[in-house]
Amino acid sequence: MAPFARFFYLILLAGTLVAAPQWIQAQNQIVDGVAAIVNDEVITISEVRNVVAPREQALRQMLTGQDLIDKVKEARLAALKDLIDRKLVLQEFRKKEFKLPPFHVENQIDNLVRTKFDGDRKAFLKALSEQGVTLAEFREREKERLIVVAMQQARSRNMPLISPKSIEDFYNNNKPLFTSDPKLKLRLIAINNTDDSSREYAEQVRGKLAEGAEFDNIAQLYSEDPSRDLGGDWGWIDPDTLNEKLSKIVFGLPVGKVSKVYEQDGVFYIFLIEEKEFAVTQPLAEVREDIKKKLEEEKRQEMYETWINGLREQAYIKMF
């Protein structure tokens, strides 16, 4: 099967394969062969390679060595599993003697030409030709894709309704998901602890602030932090911006008051909190619909997984 990554869509399914066939672990290219048998149909190594090629290319640009080998093997296993499940779905479609009207496929192709090629069918056909794919081959692939989608959707037709209590329980059990982080607007002065006089020096700097000197001016004169040119301005920060100890300190300080001198990891700090915004939790009314959609999608996936697992258990599947 010739590659056509731009238009070849797969339905991603959960789970992993237990053992990796030898060809999946091989680093040298294998021209072709049988990757798996699903009942009485074959999946070839070239089919798997065509699917996984874009992912492998991206991995080779990011990784090297054993990390690359492991991730490539993982990607090939995932692609093979997708193809096996896809094959099972198509076989079930035929077994049930379902039919897909041809106009559905043609409508999808027309829509693709309109949205991706500005209505230029010649450009579409040229793209197919450059990928070594005939229109008939692409039409068959698109038909199979639509069948898989239709079979997925059929699994959720009798999906039970999501009750108000389920939505409320999810909300109450996952409040952090709907709660914004607290944040504050911070200025600081940092003075390195280089000798016994450093603390006294830091206290003298703080004394100038206590006498009414502007924080930004003092920061520009005395701070050794990279923010000195900005008058010590760190802008708005959240609890993860600083390390845990410093974050605990600054988020416990009042607004508008110069802090005492704090020492942390060989540095003396003076802080000024200019503004604060506290954590805010969205009310249930604002997120109810989003929660409903999330729970529906989880239930839909659960029903599909139950169905596809049943197909796997009933099928003869052998990987090579």
- The pLDDT tens digits of the residues spanning 22-51 come to 667 666 655 689 999 999 999 999 999 989
Paired sense of beta strands 183-192 and 267-277, if any = antiparallel
pLDDT, tens only, 120-133: 999 999 999 998 88
For residues 45-66, give the mean pLDDT.
93
pLDDT band at 9 (very low <50, low <70, confident <90, very high): very low
Q: Domain coordinates of the chain in residue numbers?
A: 22-147, 180-277
d(CA 168, CA 226): 47
A 10 A CB-CB count for 157 gives 7
For residues 144-169, give the mean pLDDT.
91
Nearest to 60 by CA among 49, 50, 52, 72: 72
Q: Tell the CATH topology of 22-147.
A: Triger factor/SurA peptide-binding fold (1.10.4030)
- CA torsion 10-11-15-17 (nearest 10°) is -30
pLDDT for the residue 27: 61
CATH number of 180-277: 3.10.50.40
Prediction pTM value? 0.65
